[in-house]
Amino acid sequence: MGNELLEIKNLTTSFRIGDDYFAAVDDVTLTLNKNEILGIVGESGSGKSALAFSIMGLHNRAKIEGNILLNNQDIAKMSTSQINKLRGDDLAMIFQDPLTALNPLMEIGDQIAETLILHQPELSQKQRKERVLELLNLVGIPRPEHVQQQFPHELSGGMRQRVVIAIAIANVPELLIADEPTTALDVTIQAQILDLIRELKEDIHAGIILITHDLGVVAEMADRVAVMYAGQIVEIADIHTLFENPLHPYTKSLLNSVPTEGQDKLHVIQGIVPSLKNLPREGCRFASRIPWIDQSAHEKNPILHEVSSGHFVRCTCHEHFYFSDDIKEEQANGVS
């Protein structure tokens, strides 16, 4: 087994809509190693947060099938009290919006101390106070003695996110999930927070799942990337392979929709991720967004194929894929 921290096997998370359950995460299998950052990318509605919340045991009304093994213990089979104990201890999450993650009526220092009281009751009051200051220092908050007595609204967005991170790492989690941790922040602050998360990986040797729709963030941060579309992983590879040899039409479309140096036109992905109720459950889920590709290019029941060591891609349609813009351009230039 070696370095594996998290092993997700055939995870399906379904929500009840009317009389039926619909899978927002559909048969996802992946692993995360210790000391590794796994990026999860995909458009809004692709199931990234549903996956993160399933790992955190925060979907109390969803139907969860499959296994979520953290150090060989199955989170998916735990009782609420077991998972509550794990959460904030071995398992922690940094949410998108620091303001909603913090208690507006409680001093910063007390909010950090609260998680220490819960998960490290053996600490004396003096040790706890020292640890609060140490954590504020670790996340780069200047004048921690002063800041610990402040309330969330007295801090900037970037400082608040640092506090959220201090709470998340207070008990040295083995697994840290960051769900769009910089989306609510200014661009300059984003870079600082990402640097901080990267440093923390080294400091606490955590495995980190970084959820984002921003491929630039993934390129800078992740060791491996899983691309999600309509509840499924459509491609997974190490960071270099994914950026240098993307295969799935969705991955290629995402990469082509990001501005890069020397690129004169951006690709626009047609359509949107279908709503949960209207997701096609058979065939290639991306087919409707690349209608110019012949139906015969798609597999009937697309599976993940290992195309090279550690590089998996779903469906055979990638072998026949081209951008429709290229054809239009060729036609305009008289190339047949």
Ligand X SMILES: Nc1ncnc2c1ncn2[C@@H]1O[C@H](COP(=O)(O)OP(=O)(O)OP(=O)(O)O)[C@@H](O)[C@H]1O
Q: Which of 12, 14, 31, 46 binds ligand X (CB under 6 A)?
A: 46
Residue 50 tokens, joined: 């549903």
Q: Is 45 in the site for ligand X (CB under 6 A)?
A: yes
* Contact between residue 290 and residue 321 where contact means Cβ atoms under 8 Å apart: yes
DSSP symbols for 41-101? E--TTSSHHHHHHHHTT--TTSEEEEEEEETTEEGGG--HHHHHHHBTTTEEEE-S-HHHH
* Contact between residue 257 and residue 271 where contact means Cβ atoms under 8 Å apart: no
Q: How far is the CB of 90 from ligand X (least distance, A)?
A: 23
**Stretch of residues binding ligand X (CB under 6 A), selected from 46-54, 77-85, 170-178, 247-255:** 46-54
Q: Is 93 in the site for ligand X (CB under 6 A)?
A: no
Give whichever of 174 and 179 is closer to ligand X, judged by the CB atom.
Answer: 179
**Strands 4-17 and 91-94, bridge-based pairing:** unpaired
Q: Which of 4, 15, 65, 305 binds ligand X (CB under 6 A)?
A: 15
Q: Which of 276, 287, 304, 307 binds ligand X (CB under 6 A)?
A: 276
Q: Which of 24, 64, 136, 193 binds ligand X (CB under 6 A)?
A: 24
What are the backbone dihedrals phi and psi of residue 132, each rounded to the nearest 5 degrees, phi first?
-60, -45
Note the residue count of the chain.
336
**Strands 175-179 and 4-17, bridge-based pairing:** unpaired
Q: Is 190 in the site for ligand X (CB under 6 A)?
A: no
Report long-range pairs for 138-145 (Cβ below 8 Å, ≥24 apart): 138/166, 138/169, 138/200, 138/203, 139/163, 139/165, 139/166, 139/169, 139/196, 140/192, 140/196, 141/166
Distance CA 307, CA 304 (A): 9
Q: How far is the CB of 46 from ligand X (least distance, A)?
A: 4
Binding marks (x or -) toward ligand X, 208..227, rule CB under 6 A? -----x--------------
**Stretch of residues binding ligand X (CB under 6 A), selected from 43-51, 69-77, 124-132, 239-247:** 43-51
Give whichever of 108 and 194 is closer to ligand X, judged by the CB atom.
Answer: 194
**Stretch of residues binding ligand X (CB under 6 A), selected from 44-52, 136-144, 295-303, 318-326:** 44-52
Q: Is 48 in the site for ligand X (CB under 6 A)?
A: yes
Q: Is 169 in the site for ligand X (CB under 6 A)?
A: no
Distance CA 54, CA 163 (A): 24
**Stretch of residues binding ligand X (CB under 6 A), selected from 37-45, 86-94, 255-263, 301-309:** 37-45
Residue ranges in contact with ligand X by CB under 6 A:
15, 24, 42, 44-50, 213, 275-276
